[in-house]
Structure 1
C-alpha cells in the first residue's frame, strides 16, 4: 500500500504501525522552511517537524495558517528515511514528525524507538543510565 493508504487505514481503525513507518521511510516529503530553518511547532515538550505528502497538502496547510491563495511557500524535499534517520537526531530535544498537519488524513510519527534512531527516542534512557535496581548495595 502507499503512504496515503497506510494513513487511511490508521484513520479507519486498521493500523499497521510497521507498514506505516516503512511507507513513510520510502516516500519523499516536503518540509516547509522559514528563514532557512525547517518549519516546526512545539507541543508538550516535543518539537514536531511539519512534513507534507505533496504541494496540495502543503497549500491547504498554508491557507489554514493565513497564507494567501497562490502564495509561494519555500520547502525542501527529502525522503522520510532521511527525516527520521538524519534530521530528527540533529534536532535539539525530542522531535517527531507531523505529516500533512491540518488535514483530515494527517499522522504523527513520535520520537520513539522503532520510528526514530534509539539515540533520539524519548522512550529509551540515555546510554549508561539504567532503571534496573543495583545489586549488592545497601
Structure 2
C-alpha cells in the first residue's frame, strides 16, 4: 500500500503500525534541517490524512531522538 492509504488505515483503527512504518521509510519526504530534533509532518494539507511523527527513535536517527531509548537507554 502507499503511505496515504496506510495513514488512513491507522486513523480508522484497521492499520498495522509495522506496515505504516515500512511505508514511511520507503516514502520520499523532504525534512527540513533544524538545530535540534524535529519531527516529520506528512500530508499536512489534508485534514483527514495528515499525521505528525515525533522525533523519537525509529522515526529519526537514534542520535537525534528525544526519547531515552533512542540514546541507548532502556525504557
TM-score interval for Structure 1 and Structure 2 normalised by the shorter chain: 0.7 to 0.9
Runs of 5+ in structure 1 lacking a partner? 32-82, 132-138
Aligned residue in 2 for 1:10: 10
**Structure with greater proportional strand content:** 1
**What is the aligned partner in structure 2 of residue 25 from structure 1?**
25
Q: Which runs of 4+ in 1 moved over 6 A?
A: none
Q: Tell whether 2:57 aligns with 1:113.
A: yes
Counterpart for residue 44 of structure 2: 101
Q: Compare CA radii of gyration and give the structure with the larger one.
A: 1
- The count of residues paired between Structure 1 and Structure 2 equals 73
- Superposition RMSD on alpha carbons, in Å? 2.7
TM-score by length of 2: 0.73
Distance 2:19 2:70 in 1: 27
